[in-house]
């Protein structure tokens, strides 16, 4: 910020003239003064006094005196231990008010930071989106907005996992049990319909498995393979996957389906396409409700064979090696990781192979210098390895790779398990939040006189504001326990609270049309609340940059809450339209406008729209 530079410059000159010491910018630490002390900004003197070997309080006095004399901005000071609290002049506040009023100016002329490919959704086509996906998607969308604001050119992508055993299970179950059921005939959203048959498969398979467990064959297996003291229940729980692959009748049918799919069998392909189209229509609906879009969608069915040539190249370069069975590996033990398989002995790909290939394809498509993956922290190790391998392959974007790893969303009862049915479905959740906002709004009657269409839109914005803010206000890295009731809160530290500050300002703006703005330059006695607002507005740009650099929208969300809170307080303490003078009214109105614009802009960066009324 300009003021920080101003002080830093003054101090640099002072240190040079007085002590012949070159200051670096990190020596100068300025922070807002804590509210229990007098002043608005505080210089932390410890690092500076250490440079000249003087006692901090004594040196703070010395600097305070110097700044009083040599800066128009510093009007007074006091010293508490090693802290120099500065009070700033009316001249400072007026000048900052000018600066802050031009809300557009803060992000003009940002340096171009290059092209960034951002992957922020990777759904499976065998089940609908749930709460975890929502956190993923909202984080990604916000990062897109923030990165773009800070000078990046962002390409938004998703990778759809549209192949494999899982989708074949749904296909098999649909084929055998659906009797031709479609989204149209059932009234179910496409992704929910497919999810339904995924569950059907699980049920049928479990029944088959339970039956088998009583057979002589199964009993023999138990006797031959169970560990000492292992109960049948325990044994068969662990054996389930092997049963599917080696004994199950329907398991073999599903695996056959997968093989047919891989061979491009027309009938299976047709079924696969039909069902996937249903799912995509369902996903699109959910994405629309979340207000997100993509520039480019990658499908695993296109990419799952990629990456083999990259692996071959690595082998030629000598950074990978081949084992006797023909499989290809990379040894990362020198980087503190393991040996990692990159290609199976039979030449087929593993997950890692695909990801290597997909990264290269994206480079071919976009020539990006950076790439960010928004993926849950259960894959931390995978990405660590992936990035290391890409680095060894000397991919040009390797230094620009980042895994935006977010914590799992758990429910009060523990982890979400789709098989056990305790998942929070994305569509259900959105519906529920909208319902809550609806009853909340009708209770208050804030939208009376609006057309039905406008009411609906305002309610939607409030509801989505609540949900999005709830998920974005916490540090992405942290695992979060999602209490459905709390996400529906609309008071306190919430999206609607911030929206309410904005709505109040809009209300004032509408009424202001009767008044004329005159003489705000003459306003002298700038009060505490006004100063606090200006200070916050001055910090906005820094906060956005910080969120961009740290890949963390929660800084921005918490800042907006703080700004809203400070405005609510100001609003309560001081009259605006009925201010004591024209000058005060103009000043406060202008300040309110700046706050309103900043709130709206900041929420937009979180993917949240403002209602006009609520």
Q: Which residues from 419-438 bind RNA, rule CB under 7 A?
A: 437
Contact set for RNA, span 231-260 (CB under 7 A): 241
Q: Is 34 in the site for RNA (CB under 7 A)?
A: yes
Q: Closer to RNA at the Cβ: 296 or 438?
A: 438
Half-sphere exposure of 282 (CA within 13 A, CB side): 29
| Of the residues 237, 284, 391, 444, which one makes contact with RNA according to CB under 7 A | 444
Strands 114-119 and 83-88: unpaired
Of residues 351-390, those binding RNA (CB under 7 A):
351, 377-382
Q: Specify the residue, 14 or 559, whose C-beta has the smaller distance to RNA.
A: 559
Our CB check for RNA shows the closer of 230 and 379 to be 379
Query: Which residue in the block uniquely carries the two structure tokens 């000048």?
Result: 95
Per CB under 7 A, does 199 bind RNA? no
**Per CB under 7 A, which of residues 50..69 are in contact with RNA?**
50, 56
Nearer to RNA, 47 or 400 (CB): 47
Which member of 142, 500, 535, 597 binds RNA (CB under 7 A)? 500
- Among 88, 106, 100, 108, smallest CA distance to 42 is for 88
Concatenate the DSSP letters of all residues of 258-289 into one string.
HHHHHHT-HHHHHHHHHHHHHHHHHHHHHHHH
CB of 182 to RNA, least distance (A): 26
Task: Tell me, residue by residue from 10 to 29, as one string, x for binding to RNA by CB under 7 A and - for no binding.
Answer: -------------------x
* Distance separating alpha carbons of residues 260 and 386, to the nearest angstrom: 30
CB of 446 to RNA, least distance (A): 3
Q: Which stretch binds RNA (CB under 7 A): 75-83, 111-119, 193-201, 207-215?
A: 75-83
**Residue 324 beta carbon to RNA: minimum distance, rounded to whole angstroms:** 9
Return the SS3 of 349.
strand
Nearest to 85 by CA among 14, 34, 25: 34
The minimum distance between CB 568 and RNA, in angstroms, equals: 3
613 part of the interface to RNA, by CB under 7 A: yes
How far is 92 from 3, CA to CA, in rounded Å?
9
Q: Does 497 bind RNA (CB under 7 A)?
A: yes
565 binding RNA? (CB under 7 A): yes
For residues 178 to 197, the per-residue mask of contacts with RNA, x marking binding by CB under 7 A and - elsewhere, is: --------------------
Cα–Cα distance, 287 to 293 (Å, whole number): 7
| Residues 297 to 326 in contact with RNA, rule: CB under 7 A | 300, 323, 325
Question: What number of chain residues touch RNA (CB under 7 A)?
Answer: 91
Q: Find the shortest distance in angstroms from Cβ 504 to RNA.
A: 5
Stretch that binds RNA, among 102-110, 208-216, 263-271, 566-574 (CB under 7 A): 566-574
Q: How far apart are CA 591 and CA 532, in angstroms?
A: 11
Query: Which residue bears the tokens 């914590």?
Result: 407
Q: Which residues fall within 8 angstroms of residue 463, CB to CB, at 6 or more apart?
A: 430, 433, 434, 436, 437, 438
The residue (of 325 and 452) whose beta carbon lies closer to RNA is 325
Closer residue to RNA in complex, CB, 83/320: 83
Check residue 115 for interaction with RNA (CB under 7 A): no
Euclidean distance between CA atoms 11 and 66, whole angstroms: 9
Look up residue 205 and give its two tokens. 């398979």
Q: Which residues pair with 43 in a beta bridge?
A: 30, 84
Those residues whose C-beta lies under 8 Å from the C-beta of residue 428, and which sit 6 or more positions away, are none
User: 34: which residues sit within 8 A by CB, 6+ positions away?
Assistant: 42
Q: With respect to RNA, which residue has the nearer C-beta, 100 or 385? A: 385
Question: Given the complex with RNA, which of 188 and 342 has the nearer CB atom?
Answer: 342
Minimum gap (Å) between residue 536 Cβ and RNA: 12
Instruction: Give the separation between CA 202 and CA 208, rounded to whole angstroms.
Output: 10
DSSP 76-101: EEEEETTEEEEEEPHHHHHHHHHHHH
Cβ atoms within 10 Å of 232's Cβ, excluding its own: 13
| Residue pair 488/155 in contact by the 8 Å Cβ criterion | no
Could you say which residues in the range 337-356 bind RNA, by CB under 7 A?
A: 338, 341, 344-346, 350-351
**1, 27, 95, 164: which one contacts RNA (CB under 7 A)?**
164
Site string for RNA, 583-602 (x = CB under 7 A): --------------------
Taking CB under 7 A as the rule, does residue 81 contact RNA?
Answer: yes
Is residue 471 near RNA by the rule CB under 7 A? no
Alpha-carbon distance 311 to 356, whole Å? 8
609 binds RNA (CB under 7 A): no
Residue 445 CB-density burial (10 A; 0-12 exposed, 13-18 middle, 19+ buried): exposed
Residue 166 CB neighbours (<10 A): 18
Q: Does 290 bind RNA (CB under 7 A)?
A: no
Rounded-to-integer distance, Cα 180 and Cα 185, Å: 9
Unique residue bearing structure tokens 């303490």: 573
Tell which one of 91, 322, 479, 524 touches RNA (CB under 7 A): 479
80 lies in the site for RNA, by CB under 7 A: yes
* Nearer to RNA among residue 174 and residue 497 (C-beta): 497
């Amino acid at each position: 910020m300009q003021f920080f530079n101003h002080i830093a410059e003054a101090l640099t000159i002072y240190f040079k003239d007085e002590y012949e010491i070159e200051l670096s910018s990190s020596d100068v630490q300025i922070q807002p003064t804590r509210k229990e002390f007098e002043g608005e900004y505080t210089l932390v003197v410890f690092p500076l006094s250490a440079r000249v070997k003087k006692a901090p309080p004594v040196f703070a006095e010395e600097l305070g005196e110097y700044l009083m004399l040599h800066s128009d901005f510093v009007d007074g000071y006091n010293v508490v231990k090693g802290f120099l609290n500065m009070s700033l002049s009316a001249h400072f506040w007026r000048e900052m008010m000018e600066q802050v009023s031009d809300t557009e100016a803060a992000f003009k002329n940002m340096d171009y930071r290059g092209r960034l490919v951002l992957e922020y959704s990777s759904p499976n086509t065998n089940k609908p989106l749930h709460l975890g996906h929502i956190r993923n998607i909202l984080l990604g969308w916000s990062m897109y907005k923030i990165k773009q604001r800070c000078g990046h050119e962002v390409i938004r992508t998703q990778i759809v996992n549209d192949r494999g055993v899982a989708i074949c299970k749904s296909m098999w179950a649909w084929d055998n049990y659906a009797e031709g059921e479609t989204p149209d005939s059932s009234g179910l959203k496409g992704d929910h319909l497919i999810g339904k048959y995924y569950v059907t498969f699980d049920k049928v398979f479990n029944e088959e498995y339970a039956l088998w467990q009583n057979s002589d064959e199964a009993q023999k297996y138990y006797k031959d393979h169970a560990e000492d003291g292992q109960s049948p229940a325990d044994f068969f729980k662990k054996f389930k996957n092997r049963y599917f692959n080696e004994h199950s009748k329907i398991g073999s049918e599903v695996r056959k389906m997968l093989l047919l799919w891989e061979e491009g069998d027309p009938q299976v392909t047709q079924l696969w396409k039909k069902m996937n189209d249903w799912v995509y229509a369902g996903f699109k609906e959910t994405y629309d409700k979340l207000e997100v879009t993509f520039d480019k969608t990658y499908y695993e069915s296109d990419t799952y064979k990629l990456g083999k040539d990259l692996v071959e190249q690595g082998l030629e370069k000598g950074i990978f090696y081949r084992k006797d069975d023909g499989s290809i590996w990379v040894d990362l033990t020198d980087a503190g990781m393991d040996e990692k398989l990159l290609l199976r002995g039979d030449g087929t790909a593993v997950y890692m192979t695909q990801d290597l290939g997909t990264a290269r394809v994206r480079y071919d498509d976009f020539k990006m210098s950076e790439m960010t993956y928004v993926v849950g922290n259960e894959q931390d190790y995978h990405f660590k390895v992936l990035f290391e391998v890409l680095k060894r392959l000397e991919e040009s974007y390797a230094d620009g790779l980042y895994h935006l790893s977010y914590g799992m969303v758990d429910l009060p009862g523990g982890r979400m398990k789709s098989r056990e049915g305790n998942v929070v479905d994305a569509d259900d959740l959105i519906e529920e939040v909208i319902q809550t906002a609806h009853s909340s709004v009708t209770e208050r009657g804030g939208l009376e006189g609006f057309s039905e269409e406008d009411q609906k839109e305002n309610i939607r914005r409030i509801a989505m504001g609540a949900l999005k803010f709830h998920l974005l206000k916490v540090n992405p890295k942290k695992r979060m326990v999602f209490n459905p009731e709390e996400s529906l809160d609309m008071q306190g530290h919430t999206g609607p609270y911030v929206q309410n500050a904005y709505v109040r300002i809009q209300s004032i703006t509408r009424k202001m049309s009767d008044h004329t703005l005159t003489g705000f330059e003459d306003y002298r006695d700038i009060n505490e609340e006004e100063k606090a607002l200006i200070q916050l507005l001055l910090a906005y740009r820094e906060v956005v940059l910080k969120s961009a650099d740290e890949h963390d929208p929660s800084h921005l969300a918490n800042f907006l809450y703080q700004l809203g809170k400070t405005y609510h307080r100001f609003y309560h303490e001081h009259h605006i339209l009925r201010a004591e003078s024209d000058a005060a009214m103009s000043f406060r109105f202008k300040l309110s406008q700046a706050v309103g614009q900043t709130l709206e802009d900041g929420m937009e960066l979180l993917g949240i729209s403002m209602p006009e009324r609520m």
